[in-house]
Amino acid sequence: MHPVLRTVLQRLGLGLLTLLAVSVIIFSSLELLPGGFAEAILGQGATPETVAAFNKSLGLDRPPVTRYFEWLWGASQFDFGRSFAGAGGWREENVREVSTIIGPRLYNTFFLAAVTAVIAVPLALVLGLLCALYRNSWFDRIANATTLTTIASPEFFVAYILVFFLAVKLRWFPPLSTVSATTPFLEHLYKAMLPALTLTMVIVAHMMRMTRASIISLLSSPYIEMAKLKGLEPRKVIVKHALPNAWAPIATVIAFNLAYLVVGVVVVEVVFTYPGIGQLMVDSVSSRDMPVAQACALIFAATYILLNLLADIVAIVTNPRLLHPR
């Protein structure tokens, strides 16, 4: 078997084992939360008898191990169970499938992540290349200082600063990003622009600094020195010779940040009241709607593991020592 294919299969197996371990942690952690869905729904009428009857009707009186394996088997078939909180009641006519609740929210989160990635990834690569090309110049110093500032600032602080200037003062964008399934594409894009800019400022710094560091570390390589001795322009030396060999660490950082766009958007979605899966997870934990919370957490974990697997594959493919084994 080719070394690249063998390594990819190994990474895939480790990813599946990691996802299995994470599923155990997710189910156990949510089971250990204080209170319960019955108490949250019944309120003052939560007597021991009504709570016991409520839990029995939902199947929550069964052993946790049994419920875990049933949930895991359903999740492997993209069946996350049913939510009794989605329609505001627990009677049978109010029951909704978890997938129908998560579907629109997941689309909104992926939409926000895609808009942010389209802006952030090219911007980070260009800024990183320019900082490496004009190393130790005033542009490089200003870019590094700015990125360090954004890295040190929490997401909610960056969000409120952008709201103050771009929404309150300049009135370019709405301060809240409430959208629905019937919102037109352009209006959705317009309302999602402010949270997308917030996420862009957060993730550009990491990708730009890694691009700069990877390019600079290769500039002292013998083949780069040979390219300079041939009289090539510094721009061509970096773009045509240094950048292709720096893709492995850059791709890894890009994958980490793209995973953050899906996994780490909870704070940004809450600040802008954007109806994404992060906001849904916060609401479901607050209302103790465990099937929805478990599904959201599992989707977060699967997305993070998948993007890291893609980063490993890109790093393997772009590594000449694996493509041309001895």
Q: Are 87 and 104 in contact (CB under 8 A)?
A: no
Cα separation of 137 and 201, whole Å? Answer: 22
Residue type for position 196: A
Cα separation of 292 and 280, whole Å? Answer: 8
Cα separation of 292 and 298, whole Å? Answer: 10
307 pLDDT higher than 90: no
324 pLDDT higher than 60: no
CATH of 99-323, one of 3.30.420.80, 1.10.3720.10, 3.10.580.10, 1.20.210.10: 1.10.3720.10
Cα separation of 232 and 306, whole Å? Answer: 39
- Each residue of 165-184: pLDDT tens digit? 998 888 899 888 888 888 89
Structure tokens at 117: 């990635």
Is residue 202 very low, low, confident or very high in pLDDT (cuts 50, 70, 90)?
Answer: confident
Q: DSSP string of 202-231?
A: HHHHHHHHHHHHHHHHHTTSHHHHHHHHTT
Residue of higher predicted confidence among 257 and 69: 69
- Reduced to 3 states (helix: H, G, I; strand: E, B; else coil), residue 82 is strand
Nearest CA among 189, 248, 186, 166 for reference residue 215:
248
Q: Are 237 and 224 in contact (CB under 8 A)?
A: yes
Of 58-67, 171-180, 214-223, 312-321, the range with the highest mean pLDDT is: 171-180
Q: Are 124 and 146 in contact (CB under 8 A)?
A: no
- Each residue of 112-166: pLDDT tens digit? 989 998 999 899 888 888 888 888 888 888 988 888 888 788 888 888 889 999 9
> Per-residue pLDDT averaged across 10-19, rounded?
86
Residue type for position 7: T
| pTM recorded for the entire structure | 0.80
Residue 288: partners with Cβ closer than 8 Å, 6 or more residues away:
33, 35, 36, 37, 39, 40, 85
Is residue 90 very low, low, confident or very high in pLDDT (cuts 50, 70, 90)?
Answer: very low
- Each residue of 263-274: pLDDT tens digit? 777 888 888 888
pLDDT of residue 87: 40
Angle among Cα 284, 103, 181 to the nearest 5 degrees reads 100
Is residue 45 very low, low, confident or very high in pLDDT (cuts 50, 70, 90)?
Answer: low
Report residue 96: phi and psi, to 5°: -130, 150
88 pLDDT higher than 80: no
Other Cβ atoms less than 10 A from the Cβ of 218: the count is 19
Cα separation of 267 and 273, whole Å? Answer: 10
- Reduced to 3 states (helix: H, G, I; strand: E, B; else coil), residue 8 is helix
3-state DSSP percent of the chain in helix, strand and coil, to 5: 75, 0, 20
- Each residue of 24-42: pLDDT tens digit? 998 888 777 766 667 666 6
244 pLDDT higher than 90: no
pLDDT of residue 193: 92
The residue written with tokens 């550009």 in the block is 204
190 pLDDT higher than 90: yes
Query: Structural domain boundaries of the chain?
Result: 99-323
